[in-house]
Amino acid sequence: MSQDPIYPPNREFTAKASVSGMDAYRRLYTEAAEQPEEFWGQLAGEHLHWFQKWSHVFEWNPPFVKWFVGGKTNVSYNCLDRHLNSPRKDKVAILWEGEPGDSRAITYTELHRLVCRFSNVLLARGLKTGDRAILYMPMIPELPIAMLACARLGITHSVVFGGFSSEALKARIQDLGAQVVITADGGWRRAKEVRLKDAVDEAITGECPSVKDVIVCRRTGSDTPMQPGRDHWWHELDAASQDHCPAVELDSEHPLYVLYTSGTTGKPKGILHTTGGYLLHATMTMRWVFDIKEEDVYWCSADIGWVTGHSYIVYGPLSAGTTTVMYEGAPDTPAFDRWWALVAKYKVNIFYTSPTAIRALIRQGDEWPAKHDLSSLRLLGSVGEPINPAAWEWYHRVIGKGRCPIVDTWWQTETGGIMIAPMPGAVPLKPGSATLPMPGVLPEIVSLEGKPVGDDQEGFLILKRPWPGMLRTIWGDPERYREQYWSRVPGVYFTGDAARRDKDGYYWILGRVDDVMNVSGHRLSTMEVESALVKHPAVAEAAVVGKPHEITGQAVCCFVTLKKGDYSHDILGKELRQWVAHEIGAFARPAEIRFTEALPKTRSGKIMRRLLREIVTSNSVAGDVTTLEDMSVVTRLAAQHDED
């Protein structure tokens, strides 16, 4: 294996960083590992407000954990009220831009007022602590307002991404037993209206007896039928509401939210996060990983419908008193420079996005970012997938102008917050590696028998200790929780990811375990081959799956999209096979290269390798495809196979 390039933190960044230098990182890490009670107890006291102090920092009855046992706090109070007695009261909390170009700057004082008013609306509808709300909304300020109002009252929310169908919405409403659905007439995406209220009507009419009220925010102003008695306009309820609403003193383990995520079966898992531990995890990682400063403008481009938006658009940033940017629409509307225009307009200092988005933008060419002044940026982040070194280098050079560290953050819906990532003023970066664990995170790479593997050996990534933001259970299914996460390797948390650790202790995430191929007895990650392919100048994106093969066990099958240009598929196909063999080894030489216009992706941007695997294996597609962004891609890929 060739020597990995290393980017040490630059001196200017380190000088101002809240954690400076490796010794400071190691001190934090060691303290958290050796004295977790003291470590987390001190941070919780310092960084969060408590109505009542806890009696124990944590209580671990595997696989169930409680953090800050007996403590009373409130997430909404921590994100809002506590900032109002400080200079932050007039600071912008949410800097929002709609896709059509409308915008709002909402200060902490104003956000607090809006959240209190909406909390009173919920109270007036008869909702109370312990009830559940489904939020099915576009990326408008009313979404975090509704989340914070629920949190204020102890109503457990579940945000359902606005791109989910009415069927997926129905399943989530039913599983959660929600009393209220909060939605909007629609939202704007690629200049088209996404009709949300229609989907709600389709989901609940006659099928969701738990739902008593539907609250509808007016966004697009389009014609929206309202069912008398059940449906209410947000602005009409708001007009009868008031500004004052105290935050309820909640138990530290009170259920804050449930977020549904796809598992290996068709039925989505409701991941439960609770109050004190979750908020501490989100707040501390904002500081450690994003090195957040009082004057920073911070932008995470995710959708709030995914966990990244929960922890790093809403709860983490607001708890840390940050100005958080929110953008409603698509990155290519009206043109491919929309994001860069926003960075320049709002003088964004920290930008956090996904490798998939980066690769899509690479494909459009460097002229788009070149049109805008990106000099406000000081830190870049990546999440959601392994970032291939070629995309990392582009992000670093073309967006960060070589000045900005890139924090590659590994975590999951289940972990609640960032788990493995560099502290940018301390940890030297290696493109493609999420680097080192956060304090309190004890990862290991093991075989299926649970034995640690050696340096540079591929294995299963597990976590040996509970952490504050850890999921508490799967909603309504503690057995599935135990079985999914704590039984594969008994007694430890099974991430479902493969990884290796190099001799410097750096973690290299190789992707989901089910994405690992075995070719002639060689373990080979789909990601390794993809990374090799996208290094080729003609390739925009690649997705690789193992195809059953008589002799070698599996053969490498690649789906490739190309950058603009004229290519002979015949010649390029041969060249790419040779290229991969050269980059990784002859055993990795792809059996097949299939050129395609697009890859099937989930709406959060993850390539659906499972679908591709089914296409190469059986040429048909079964199971849950509700998270798929564009089903037509799959139909086309399957059809292409028929022609082969």
Residues near ligand 7RM (CB under 6 A) are: 261, 307-308, 383-386, 408-413, 434, 495-497, 509, 511-512, 604
Which letter does DSSP use for residue 366 in this model?
Answer: T
Shortest gap between Cβ of 563 and ligand 7RM (angstroms)? 24
Residue type at 544? V
Q: Of the candidates 410, 406, 481, 468, which has an alpha carbon nearest to the alpha carbon of residue 443? A: 410
d(CA 395, CA 431): 11
Q: Which is nearer to ligand 7RM, 73 or 308 (CB)?
A: 308
Q: 72-73 and 250-251: which strand pairing?
A: antiparallel
Shortest gap between Cβ of 360 and ligand 7RM (angstroms)? 17
Contact 308, 385 (CB under 8 A): no
Q: Which is nearer to ligand 7RM, 236 or 504 (CB)?
A: 504
Shortest gap between Cβ of 409 and ligand 7RM (angstroms)? 5
Residues 6+ apart with CB under 8 A from 408: 381, 382, 383, 387, 392, 421, 422, 429, 432, 433, 434, 435
CA-to-CA separations, 179 to 77, 174, 222, 226, 257, in angstroms, rounded? 24, 10, 26, 18, 14
Shortest gap between Cβ of 497 and ligand 7RM (angstroms)? 5
Shortest gap between Cβ of 444 and ligand 7RM (angstroms)? 16
Q: Which is nearer to ligand 7RM, 488 or 512 (CB)?
A: 512
d(CA 246, CA 97): 29
Q: Of the candidates 13, 15, 8, which has an alpha carbon nearest to the alpha carbon of residue 377? A: 13
Q: How many CB atoms lie within 10 A of CB 475?
A: 24
Q: Which is nearer to ligand 7RM, 241 or 261 (CB)?
A: 261
Shortest gap between Cβ of 355 and ligand 7RM (angstroms)? 8
Q: Which is nearer to ligand 7RM, 36 or 316 (CB)?
A: 316
Shortest gap between Cβ of 216 and ligand 7RM (angstroms)? 28
d(CA 276, CA 255): 10
Q: Of the candidates 176, 139, 137, which has an alpha carbon nearest to the alpha carbon of residue 159? A: 137
Query: What DSSP element (H or E) covers 343?
Result: helix 338-346
Shortest gap between Cβ of 618 and ligand 7RM (angstroms)? 24
Q: Which is nearer to ligand 7RM, 213 or 414 (CB)?
A: 414
Q: Which is nearer to ligand 7RM, 121 or 471 (CB)?
A: 471
Shortest gap between Cβ of 484 and ligand 7RM (angstroms)? 13
Long-range contacts of 607-612, Cβ-Cβ distance < 8 Å, separation of 24 or more = 607/356, 607/385, 607/541, 607/543, 609/512, 609/514, 609/515, 609/526, 609/543, 609/544, 609/545, 610/514, 612/543, 612/545, 612/557, 612/559, 612/637
Q: Which is nearer to ligand 7RM, 214 or 498 (CB)?
A: 498
Q: Which is nearer to ligand 7RM, 215 or 383 (CB)?
A: 383
Q: How many CB atoms lie within 10 A of CB 447?
A: 13
Reading the block at residue 391, the tokens are: 């995309």
Q: Which is nearer to ligand 7RM, 150 or 383 (CB)?
A: 383
Shortest gap between Cβ of 511 and ligand 7RM (angstroms)? 6
Shortest gap between Cβ of 178 and ligand 7RM (angstroms)? 22
Shortest gap between Cβ of 398 and ligand 7RM (angstroms)? 20
CA diameter of the chain? 72
Chain-centroid distance of CA 62 in Å reads: 26
Q: Which is nearer to ligand 7RM, 261 or 364 (CB)?
A: 261
Q: Which is nearer to ligand 7RM, 409 or 526 (CB)?
A: 409
Contact 323, 294 (CB under 8 A): no
Contact 521, 513 (CB under 8 A): no
Q: For 592, phi and psi rounded to 5 degrees?
A: -140, 140
Contact 605, 549 (CB under 8 A): no
CA-to-CA separations, 570 to 54, 415, 549, 594, in angstroms, rounded? 67, 45, 23, 10
